[in-house]
Every structure is written in structure tokens, then in C-alpha cells.
């Protein structure tokens, strides 16, 4: 979680820093270009001023260039970022009042260079006060040859100073913004990720034994929805887990009864051969019952697995006839076939027979000799097939109609403890595995009619 937080902050700061650096750099570039052109403009301005002065009537009275230059120097004060000096006969002569940022009139090389100028010259030169934009204006009086120059210096770095200060301030403000953004990001990501952290720790704490814990859902954002989804999943898990536990409890309980009976009889068994024979028969009977129950439990457990069904083409007429043939051997009843569907469905024929035989066994158990029990099959609307087992017995009590399909649920009818209550649960599992359902049909007359409704096409059947 910490690493997710750091990653988010890292990305955010990276992007911000890049943006800020770009802004500062570009500003810097623009300001530098501005300073250069500002120095240039100042230089041109001074040169223009000087030319205007040299062409004026005042200047016409001077015979010697140094007089003209001195006069100009006296009447023109340089800015703090400027300096003027004059060169006469190859040597620095006078300089403007005030102290310039750096002296170039003392630079012999520079003076020698400008002293040679007979035409106006412009250029850049370095100094102790940074870059300098200079201009040399040769001065001629009358028709005399050139022997004096006015040198105008514009200290570009001094001009740029306030702009550089501004750029530096910008950089400092940028750095502070970055730091503040990092702090804000840390807080915000902490708040955003807190529910996820809680989600994780809750998930870690939820063990098999404590599925009741839930994550607190605050607000309606993505994280809240995630927590909600997580809780719904836990609801389902809890229900499934409780059902599983109840199933195991019930199974244990049901198996304990025959064991207790067997044990009791074995303990009390005497030496009398008749007594022994009776006990043996009873023990075998109980063991058979246990065996059946274990088989049923295995079928139920297996029905949850994907390989539960072995699909094939099943002819409904053949299936119906096969079931009634098997049923006849079970008991003395008035067996009959209501009708048969001339259709083929994709299903597991053996499982369907198993389901129908469970229904037949129930029907037998709830009828007496000579009562009618009928099976049948029919194709109904929606591409579905219905198979049924109907009897003329006592029927199912209204309050038991739904309950009897649950595992270990028995009706309160005759208070018999014969079956375990797994038969209808198995029928339902088989029906559902086929994408169908089993139900107790509503009917006017007495008796019970259980119907299996199944899809006929194989897409709906779980293979």
C-alpha cells in the first residue's frame, strides 16, 4: 500500500516538476532575449542622441573633437547600467560622470581596438560586470581626419538583473509549490487509499470461522462500491458456508442414529439363536439404510461438480417406459403411463432415471396396495419437456410444499423415520444440473404429482 502511495506521488511530482522546469526555463530564455534587445535599444538611443547633438548648432562652434565630446559628456548622464568614454588620438581621454558597473576605458586592448574605428562599430565584449553591448562612434570635425571616438557601453547583465531576479523568484516559488504539492498528495492519497487498506486488513482477518465481519461502506465512490461488492461476496460465502455446515451437522446426526441402534442391539444381544438372528437382520437393515444415505450424500456432493452429468441423446418415450418397467417390480400398485412424448432431449439418461425412481419410491411409500401411480412425459411450450410421477396417495400438506425439497427435510405426515429426507433434494440437484427444475404440481384431486421440467436444447444443460 505504501508503495502504491509513493508511486502515485512520484508520478505526480515528476509531471509537476517537468512542467515547472519547462516554464522557468522558457521564461529564462525569453528574459535573456529581452535583455539583449533592451541593451541594443539603449545603445541605438544613445547613438541617435549623440548624432543629433553633433549635428546641432551648438556643436558647430567647436574646432576640436575633444571639446565637442567633453561638452556631450557633461550634458549626458549615463544610467546605472551605462557608461560612456571618449578616445582621442588612440588613448582613453575622458569618461562619463558616476561609476560604471565595470571600467573598459582602462582595458588597453579594447581601447586600441576602438581607436582604430573610422566608421561606426557595434559589438559584444565581456567585462567584470558581465556581457557588454558597445558602440563606437568616430567623430570628425570639419574636414580633419578622424582622431576621436565616443564609446557607449550598455551593461547587459546589469539591465537583465531585475529580470533574472524575477526568474529566480519563479524558480523558488516553483520549488515551494512542488513541496506543497507533495505534502497535499501524501495526505490525499492517504485518505483515498485508507478504505482500501481497511479492505485489505478486514480481508486478512476474515477466516473460515468468522465470516460475519463486514467492511464499513462510507460514501458512494468507487472504493465504497468495491467495499459493497466485497461485502456482497462475503454474504454469499457466509450463506454457502452456513449451508455447508448445516449439511454436515445433519449428515452426522442422521448417521449417528443407525449407529446407535446397531450398537444398542449388539450390546444387548444374548446367546439365544433366535435373538441373534433377529439382531443380525436388524443390523443388516440399518447398515443398508446407512449405505443408502451415504450413497445419496455422495450424489448430492457430486452434483455440485461440473462432471456430474454425462450428456447423451435421451428419447423421452424410452425413458418413460424404462422407468415404469423398473417401478413395477417395487410394489403392488396400479401402475400406468399417462402419456409419452415422442421427442429426444440432450440429458444424462441415468441421472434422469435416478431422479424419477426417487419420485416413484416416494409415491410407493405414500400409497397402499392397489393405489394408482402413473408416470408420463410431454413437450410443452418454450422448447421444454416435462416428466412426471403422480400418485393417488395422501398428498403433501400445504405447509410442506416448499420445505420438502430441502436436504434432510421430511414431511410431518406419518411421523415415519424411514427416509433421510434426501430424495427430493437429489431430484432437485439433478433437475438444476440440467438447467431445469422440479416442482410439486397444484392439482384439484388428492395425491401428489411431482414434475421435472427440463430444457430440450443442450446449450442450457450443464455438461
Which residue's CB is nearer to ligand ATP, number 136 or number 420?
A: 420
Q: How many residues does the chain have?
A: 463
Question: Which residues, other chains included, contact 185 with Cβ-Cβ below 8 Å and sequence gap of 6+?
Answer: 8, 9, 12, 13
Report the alpha-carbon distance of residue 249 to residue 93 in Å, rounded: 117
Backbone angles phi, psi at 333, to 5 degrees: -135, 170
Q: Does residue 87 touch ligand ATP according to CB under 6 A?
A: no
- Residues in the interface with ligand ATP (CB under 6 A) total 21
The least CB distance from residue 420 to ligand ATP, in Å, is 4
- Which residue among 20, 206, 314, 424 contacts ligand ATP (CB under 6 A)? 424
Is residue 362 a contact residue for ligand ATP (CB under 6 A)? yes
Residues 430-449 that bind ligand ATP (CB under 6 A): 448
Residue 405 C-beta: closest distance to ligand ATP, Å: 7
Shortest reach from residue 206's CB to Mg ion, in Å: 38
Binding of ligand ATP by 258 (CB under 6 A): no
User: Does residue 54 contact residue 73 with C-beta atoms inside 8 Å?
Assistant: no
The answer to whether 455 and 346 are in contact (CB under 8 A) is no
Q: In what order do the strands lie in the sheet with 437-440?
A: 334-337, 372-380, 384-391, 449-455, 437-440
* Piece of the chain touching ligand ATP by CB under 6 A; list 62-70, 86-94, 152-160, 361-369: 361-369
Q: Does 420 bind ligand ATP (CB under 6 A)?
A: yes
Asked if 423 touches ligand ATP (CB under 6 A), the answer is: yes
Which residues sit at the interface with Mg ion, rule CB under 5 A? 362, 419, 423
387 binds ligand ATP (CB under 6 A): no
Dihedrals phi, psi of 117, to nearest 5 degrees: -75, 125
Answer for the pair 311, 279: CB distance below 8 angstroms, yes or no: no
Of 288, 328, 309, 330, the residue nearest 461 (C-alpha)? 309
Pairwise CA distance, residues 45 & 79, whole Å = 12
Does 355 interact with ligand ATP (rule: CB under 6 A)? Answer: no
Q: How far is the CB of 438 from Mg ion (least distance, A)?
A: 12
396 binds, among ligand ATP, Mg ion, none (CB under 5 to 8 A by kind): ligand ATP
Give the C-alpha separation, 65 to 310, whole Å.
Answer: 121
Q: 227 vs 327, which CB is nearer to ligand ATP? A: 327
Residues within the interface to ligand ATP (CB under 6 A): 362-363, 366, 391, 393-396, 404, 409-411, 413, 419-425, 448
Amino acid at each position: 500500500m505504501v508503495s502504491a502511495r509513493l508511486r502515485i506521488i512520484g508520478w505526480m511530482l515528476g509531471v509537476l516538476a517537468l512542467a515547472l522546469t519547462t516554464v522557468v526555463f522558457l521564461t529564462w530564455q525569453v528574459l535573456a532575449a529581452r535583455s539583449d534587445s533592451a541593451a541594443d535599444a539603449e545603445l541605438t538611443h544613445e547613438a541617435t542622441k549623440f548624432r543629433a547633438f553633433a549635428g546641432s548648432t551648438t556643436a558647430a562652434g567647436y574646432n576640436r573633437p575633444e571639446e565637442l565630446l567633453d561638452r556631450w559628456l557633461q550634458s549626458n548622464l549615463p544610467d546605472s547600467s551605462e557608461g560612456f568614454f571618449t578616445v582621442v588620438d588612440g588613448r582613453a581621454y575622458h569618461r562619463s560622470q558616476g561609476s560604471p558597473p565595470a571600467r573598459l576605458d582602462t582595458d588597453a586592448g579594447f581601447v586600441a581596438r576602438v581607436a582604430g574605428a573610422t566608421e561606426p562599430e557595434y559589438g559584444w565584449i565581456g567585462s567584470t560586470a558581465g556581457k557588454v553591448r558597445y558602440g563606437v562612434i568616430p567623430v570628425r570635425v570639419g574636414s580633419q581626419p578622424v582622431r576621436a571616438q565616443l564609446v557607449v557601453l550598455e551593461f547587459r547583465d546589469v539591465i537583465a538583473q531585475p529580470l533574472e531576479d524575477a526568474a529566480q523568484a519563479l524558480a523558488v516559488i516553483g520549488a515551494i509549490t512542488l513541496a506543497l504539492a507533495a505534502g497535499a498528495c501524501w495526505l490525499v492519497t492517504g485518505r483515498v487509499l485508507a478504505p482500501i487498506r481497511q479492505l485489505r486488513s478486514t480481508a486478512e482477518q476474515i477466516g473460515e470461522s468468522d465470516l460475519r465481519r463486514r467492511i464499513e461502506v462510507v460514501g458512494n465512490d468507487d472504493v465504497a462500491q468495491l467495499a459493497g461488492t466485497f461485502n456482497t461476496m462475503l454474504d454469499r460465502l457466509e450463506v454457502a458456508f452456513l449451508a455447508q455446515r448445516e449439511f454436515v451437522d445433519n449428515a452426522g446426526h442422521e448417521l449417528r442414529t443407525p449407529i446407535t441402534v446397531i450398537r444398542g442391539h449388539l450390546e444387548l444381544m444374548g446367546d439365544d439363536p433366535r435373538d441373534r438372528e433377529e439382531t443380525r437382520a436388524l443390523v443388516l437393515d440399518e447398515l443398508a439404510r446407512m449405505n443408502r444415505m451415504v450413497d445419496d450424500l455422495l450424489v448430492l456432493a457430486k452434483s455440485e461438480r461440473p462432471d456430474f452429468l454425462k450428456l447423451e441423446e435421451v428419447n423421452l418415450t424410452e425413458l418413460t417406459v424404462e422407468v415404469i418397467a423398473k417401478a413395477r417390480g417395487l410394489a403392488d400398485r396400479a401402475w400406468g403411463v399417462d402419456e409419452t412424448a415422442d421427442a429426444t432431449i440432450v440429458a444424462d439418461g441415468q441421472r434422469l432415471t435416478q431422479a424419477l425412481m426417487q419420485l416413484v419410491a416416494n409415491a410407493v411409500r405414500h400409497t397402499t396396495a392397489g393405489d394408482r401411480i402413473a408416470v408420463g412425459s410431454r413437450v410443452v411450450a418454450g422448447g421444454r419437456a416435462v416428466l412426471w410421477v403422480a400418485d393417488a396417495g395422501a398428498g403433501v400438506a400445504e405447509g410442506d410444499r416448499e420445505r420438502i425439497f430441502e436436504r434432510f427435510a421430511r414431511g410431518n405426515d406419518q411421523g415415519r423415520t424411514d427416509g433421510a429426507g434426501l430424495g427430493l433434494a437429489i431430484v432437485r440437484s439433478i433437475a438444476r444440473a440440467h438447467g431445469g427444475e422440479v416442482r410439486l404440481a397444484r392439482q384439484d384431486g388428492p395425491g401428489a404429482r411431482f414434475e421435472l421440467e427440463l430444457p430440450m436444447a443442450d446449450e442450457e444443460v450443464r455438461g
